[in-house]
Structure 1
Amino acid sequence: MADRQMERRLYLAVGCGAAIGSLARFLSGYVIVSLLGLNPLCSTALVNIVGSWIIMAFATLTRPDGRLMVGPVSRNFVMAGFCGGLTTFSAMSLDTFILLFEGDWPLAVTYFISVVGLSLVAAWMGYLMASRFNRLPKANQANR
C-alpha cells in the first residue's frame, strides 16, 4: 500500500511541476515576444538555457553528497516536472526546421548550435556553482 501511495505522490509531483514549468515557459514567451518585442526564437532559447542550468544545479545540490537533502518526490517535481515542462527541445526543433524550410540555413544552423552549446555551458555553470556551494562548510548544528 505504501508503494502505491509513493507512486501516486511521484505522479502528482511530476504533473504539478510540469504544469508550473509549462506556465513559466508560456509566460516567458509572452514577456519576451509581446512585451519586449524580441524574436520568438529568443524565448525558446532562453527557457532551454535556463532550464539546463536549473536541472544541473539542482541535480548537483541534491546528489547523495550534495548540500540539499530532498526525497524522490521533490527531486522529480523539480527535475522531471518543472524542468521538463519549462524546457522545450521539440519547439527548438520546430523552429530550426521552419528556418530550414524557409531557406534560412545560416540562421537555422546558428540557432541550433547556439542553443545547444549555450545550454551545455549553462549546465556546466550550474554544476560548477552547485559543486562549489556543496563544498562550503556547513553551519555548526550545536550553535543553534
Structure 2
Amino acid sequence: MSGTLTGPLAVLLVAAGAAIGAPLRYLTDRLVQARHDTVFPWGTFTVNLAGSALLGFLTALPADQVVMTGAGLGFCGALTTYSTFSYETLRLIEDGARFTAVASVAAGVAGGLGAGAFGFALAGAVTG
C-alpha cells in the first residue's frame, strides 16, 4: 500500500491499529449476528463493508504515512476479515445452504467494492 511506513515504527503502528480493530471486529460480528435469525453471515458482512468504506475514505485523503499504516493497514486490516468470510462461505456450502453462500459472496464482494468507492467519494466531497 503506497503511503505507508516501513520498519519498526510501522510494526508498532500496525500492531496498535490491529489491537483495536480485531476486538472491534469480534464484538461487532457477535452483536450484529445475534440480532439476525438467519444463516447469512451478517456480522462478517457488516465489518467488511465498514472496513472497506473506511479504507476507501482514508485512501482519498492526502497521504499521511502514520495514518495509513496504523489505521489503514492495522485497524482496517484487523477489522475486515477475508478468512472468516471464506470459512463462513465454506460452512454454508457444507450445510447445504448453497444459495446463501453464493449470495454472501456476491453481496460481500460487490458491497465491499461499493463501500470502498463510497468512502473514497465521501472523502473527496469532505476535503473538496
Q: Please indicate the TM-score interval, normalised by the length of the shorter structure.
A: 0.7 to 0.9
What is the alpha-carbon distance in structure 1 between the residues aligned to residue 71 and residue 25 of structure 2?
14
Q: In structure 2, what is the equivalent of residue 89 of structure 1?
A: 82
Q: In structure 1, what is the equivalent of residue 66 of structure 2?
A: 73
Alignment of 1:47-126 (within 5 A): 47-63=47-63, 70=64, 72-126=65-119
What is the alpha-carbon distance in structure 1 between the residues aligned to residue 48 and residue 67 of structure 2?
21
Aligned length: 122
- 1:56 CA drift (Å): 0.7
Q: Which structure 1 residue ranges, 4+ long, deviate > 4 Å from structure 2? A: 37-40
AA aligned to 2:73 is: A
Structure 1-normalised TM-score?
A: 0.78
Instruction: Name stretches of at least 5 consecutive residues in structure 1 with no aligned partner.
Output: 1-5, 64-69, 136-144
The CA RMSD measured in Å over matched residues stands at 1.6
Equivalent residue in structure 2 for 1:129, among 112, 122, 127: 122
What is the alpha-carbon distance in structure 2 between the residues aligned to residue 119 and residue 15 of structure 1?
24
Structure with max Cα Rg: 1
Q: Deviations over 1:78-132 (max 9, x none)?
A: 1110000000011011111111112221111011101111111111111111111
